[in-house]
Amino acid sequence: MSDYSSSYAYLNTLQTLVREGFVTKAIVDTFFTSERFFQEIRDLTDTQNGALALTWPVNIGKSSNTIAFSGGQGLPANSLDSFIRPSLGWKYYADALALNVTDLQQADSPEAIASLVDSQLDIVKMSLADRLAGDFITSTQAVYPLQLNGLAEAIDDGTVATTYANVSRTTYPTWKAIVNYDVLTSVNLINTLYGLDLQASQDGHRPNFYATTRLAYATIQDTLMALDVYNQPDMARTTGGHDLIFNGTPVVWDPHIPTGVATVYTGSAPNPNSGGYFYMINRSTLKYVVDPKMNFTVSDWLISTTTAQVIARILHASNLVVLRPPSNAVAWIQGA
């Protein structure tokens, strides 16, 4: 009769790696350090029970009780019906680790088995992180309903997404972000970016994180190189300007921000088919919500019923929440 005891020994070692958090920690560490944008997101992570909806109150109107008065004049006390409750759904992602029994058979120690798992993780964690990295920026519900609500949908004026978080930007124009999808690199580039930044500055807060494409980064750096006030002077001189500062805040470039793409601007734009995006983000309005029960959670290892493999599923539930789109801005820059 066949002896399955060695197979159970492999499984015991694999289960230990999962339950001690080895797999999840490796994925999370890669996810938050793989791209510059996510280094910012890590500080904004919030956990919430997946049974609860992602909703929040927003005041989009004015009080009807605001008046000037004199003496014994009657004062209004009308109920305030200007609150809306935006809501987003949870978005789910999955991946899997699959190890061949033939490879496990040749592993002669728990350390060797752990090395096999680590090799698989090099593929899986980068694939999962890269998928989420792209979705964070480019995903919209109109095109990708199963993926999370990305910046392209949240930071928009209705051109890309007429609604965000189930709130119509037609019905509530104040739900629009600050946008300019027709910025020319040769005409007042810095002035235009400053104008967008100022429009997005509300209630004493202003955008405090800037992310763009490599070409836009280089263009802005070239424009500002003669003005040391916008750079860290010593670093700019010694590293060629890799520490670009705009309005006292670092500018980073992220490879997932669309570059060399057509503008969504509906008017006539010179060279409308080649440009990239510049995001001006108010970090206080951004939140990355994850369900702790599915935060890169790894299932127990199971023996496949159809192949000679052992398999573990990786599950993740989250969404990106932009609490106040009007406090954020985006520009499409020609040639970026």
Q: What is the dihedral of CA 142, 148, 151, 157, to 10 degrees?
A: 40
Distance, CA of 190 to CA of 272 (rounded, Å): 20
Distance, CA of 193 to CA of 196 (rounded, Å): 5
- Among residues 15, 29, 199, which one has the least CA distance to residue 113? 15
Residue boundaries of the structural domains of the chain: 180-286+327-334
Distance, CA of 327 to CA of 170 (rounded, Å): 18
pLDDT at 193 over 70: yes
CB atoms inside a 10 Å sphere around CB 106: 9
pLDDT at 299 over 50: yes
- Among residues 199, 193, 204, which one has the least CA distance to residue 176? 199
**Both tokens of residue 225?**
């190189």
pLDDT at 150 over 80: yes
Straight-line distance from the first to the last Cα atom of the chain, in angstroms, rounded to the nearest whole number: 67
**Segment holding 197, helix H or strand E:** helix 189-199
Give 50-99 pLDDT, tens digit per residue: 666 788 888 776 777 888 888 888 888 877 666 788 999 999 999 888 88
For all residues of the chain together, what is the average pLDDT? 79
Give 234-292 pLDDT, tens digit per residue: 544 443 445 577 777 888 888 889 998 988 877 665 567 788 999 999 988 988 898 88
